[in-house]
Amino acid sequence: MNGAQVVVEALKREGVKYIFGYPGGACMPIFDALLDAPELELVLVRHEQGGTHMADGYARATGKPGVVLVTSGPGATNTVTGLLTSQMDSIPLIVLTGQTITPNLGKDAFQEADIFGVTMPVVKHSYLVKDVNDLPKVMKEAFHLATTGRPGPVLIDLPKDVVSAECTSNFPENTDLPGYEVPMKGNADDIVRAADIIMESRCPLLYVGAGAVGAGAAKEVLELAEKLQAPVTTTLLGKGAFPETHELSVGMLGMHGTAYANKAVVGCDMIMAIGARWDDRITGKVSEFCPTASKIHIDIDPAEFGKIIQPDVSINGDARLVLQELIPHVHKLDSGPWLKSVASWKKKYPLKYPKRGGLRAQHVLDELDRLSESRGIISTDVGQHQMWAAQFCKSSRERQWLSSGGAGTMGYGFPAAIGAQLGCPNDLVVAVVGDGGFQMTLAELSTAALQRVPIKILIIDNRYLGMIRQWQELFFDQRLSGCELEGNPDFVKLGEAYCVKGFRIRRAGDVTKVLKKALAYNDGPCIIHAEVVKEDNVFPMIPAGAAVKDMLIEKPKDRKLEKPVGST
């Protein structure tokens, strides 16, 4: 068995079904070996970045690692954006890159790039395999590292002479990685201390992030919230870890979270982070974040403890297992007055949008949520449409919300939806994208059409980089610079060029009718081109670097806003 055959056999042993790839000279032996493995389905993408986002979307929707196969040089470097996206959001990915032959390493050979060095800051781990007999062990370790502890991407760089050589070593049954430990249940004393703090609370708040989704902790979060009678807020990537249709849900918190979630953050006397990392879009001005509340932090990665917020108790472990240990130590809190306050904020500050003045993105997304009964898998790009989708498209279960959080990667949503649909063929999958982000990876229309995945590509077209325009309007005296997307194509006609069905929405009165037709169309992908009003803004909003209490419910009419001190 040569090295390429070892790689393919290892993928089969790990239960891989799809490989998202693009060939080139250095990885030809592996593509050749794939011809003899019909159980592995190669999805030929149109760009390596798109392939990496597809594998990422597959992983987020299924909980299984996504696999990418590309060639050396630019083929490998084109995966860097996808690797960063997965690393920032802790998504398990295996990226296999071809490489020049080992005698040529470091000699600027054709299509040589030091991808091991280039990607070191954006992977959980990286390998450059120089001996074919190391391959079985490396492949086993890579899947173990990508999927255990805090998940993340692992890159394996494969010189062409290595994958062409004969391998004499056996496939290991287990891994042997001294020093690599996977936290599980959490320290018992820490759990008791956390329970004591919880039981002293009268205004509790559970703050749930992507770590709870990755751990499969939704059942335990629900049990804890109902037992305590504590409201629950989720991060952008924690959507679905607690059903947003539940009466205890206050939706997403942070920069564009609901007003009532942010009011709860200000008013709580105890906040417990479950698999969430106190992101700067959540905390705003750190020194004024929950200043009087006790803080408990549960996380699989001990490096997160005290990085931004110093907790009163930190518990290192798997969120699901820690909650299972914690729940028997707590009982119902006297939180009645607190829940009444939260209910009053929900009533006073509902999510809303103008009903007149043209087609509104919020209206389209609100109606999509209603027609799909909050059951569809939603994949988004980054920008205004992402925040509106997070606000109006509720998640009722885990792995229903796919979005680039930490990296904020434009161009992510559409290819990620292709991967999600392949992994979840019986689910409704909708890519909610902006006109800017969609044009970064639209070449994957070919991939979607050839795979006949029935995804709905909802393009929120306001002919602007909307979030940039919003910031320039609010904080830069409306001095608009580089944000107007002149030259946008007719997206319906563009879809037709790729043999993709198109629908168009121009009037508010047509939203329901057109969405119904699109949702009923299942003969391959379709585009829904929503031509929305140009200058709408996302509210609520906490200016970057400001305190949560400084949240804006709407655009101030009587004062000029200072430039934000935070990044974005």
58 and 419 Cβ atoms separated by less than 8 Å? yes
Residues 320, 324, 326, 327, CA torsion sign: positive
Of the residues 124, 137, 140, 160, which is catalytic?
160
453 and 444 Cβ atoms separated by less than 8 Å? no
Here the tokens at position 141 are 């370790």
Q: How far is CA 201 from CA 249, 252, 293, 299, in A?
A: 18, 22, 9, 21
Distance CA 57, CA 199 (A): 39
| Residue 111 annotated among the catalytic residues of the structure | yes
Please write the tens of the pLDDT for every residue from 63-83: 999 999 999 999 999 999 999
Q: Give the list of residues 6+ apart from residue 287 with CB closer than 8 angstroms, or none.
A: none
CB atoms within 10 A of CB 325: 20
Tokens 């059951």 locate to 375
Q: How far is CA 439 from CA 163, 381, 414, 459, in A?
A: 36, 11, 10, 10
Cα Rg of the chain (Å, integer) = 24
Closest CA to 262 of 274, 250, 249, 253: 253
Q: Is the model's pTM score more than 0.85? A: yes
Of the residues 111, 223, 475, 484, which is catalytic?
111
Q: Give the list of residues 6+ apart from residue 393 with CB closer than 8 angstroms, or none.
A: 365, 368, 369, 374, 376, 378, 401, 432
Residue 434's SS3 state is strand
Distance CA 57, CA 325 (A): 31
Of the residues 252, 270, 410, 467, which is catalytic?
467
CB atoms within 10 A of CB 74: 12
pLDDT given for residue 564 in this prediction? 80
Q: H helices of 70-134, where?
A: 74-77, 80-89, 115-119
- The pair phi, psi for residue 529, each rounded to 5°, is -95, 105
Distance CA 433, CA 29 (A): 37
Cis peptide before 540 (omega within 30 of 0): yes
Closest CA to 371 of 519, 266, 270, 507: 519
Distance CA 118, CA 4 (A): 24
216 and 223 Cβ atoms separated by less than 8 Å? no
Alpha-carbon dihedral 515, 518, 519, 520, rounded to 10 degrees: 120
- Strand ranges (E), 437-517: 456-461, 501-505
Q: Give the list of residues 6+ apart from residue 82 with CB closer than 8 angstroms, or none.
A: 48, 49, 51, 52, 53, 55, 56, 68, 93, 95, 409
Of the residues 5, 14, 20, 48, which is catalytic?
48
| Residue 549 annotated among the catalytic residues of the structure | no
Q: How far is CA 352 from CA 228, 245, 294, 345, in A?
A: 30, 17, 32, 14
Q: How far is CA 471 from CA 460, 543, 557, in A?
A: 18, 9, 16
Of the residues 12, 39, 110, 554, which is catalytic?
110
pLDDT given for residue 559 in this prediction? 77
| Residue 244 annotated among the catalytic residues of the structure | no
The percent of the chain in helix, strand and coil, each rounded to the nearest 5, is: 40, 15, 40
| Residue 48 annotated among the catalytic residues of the structure | yes
pLDDT given for residue 563 in this prediction? 84
360 and 385 Cβ atoms separated by less than 8 Å? no
| Residue 160 annotated among the catalytic residues of the structure | yes
Q: Which one-letter DSSP state was computed for residue 470?
A: H
Here the tokens at position 549 are 């209490």
94 and 82 Cβ atoms separated by less than 8 Å? no
- In angstroms, the first-to-last Cα distance of the chain is 51
- Strands laid side by side in the 401-402 sheet: 401-402, 377-380, 429-434, 456-461, 526-531, 501-505
Distance CA 77, CA 113 (A): 8
Mean pLDDT by 10 residues, the chain (568 residues): 98 98 98 98 98 98 98 98 98 98 97 97 98 98 98 98 98 95 94 98 98 97 98 98 97 96 97 96 91 96 96 98 98 98 97 93 98 96 97 97 97 98 98 98 98 98 96 93 96 98 98 98 98 95 90 85 78
508 and 337 Cβ atoms separated by less than 8 Å? no
HEC readout, 259-291? HHHHHHHHHCCEEEEECCCCCHHHHCCHHHCCC
Distance CA 528, CA 505 (A): 7
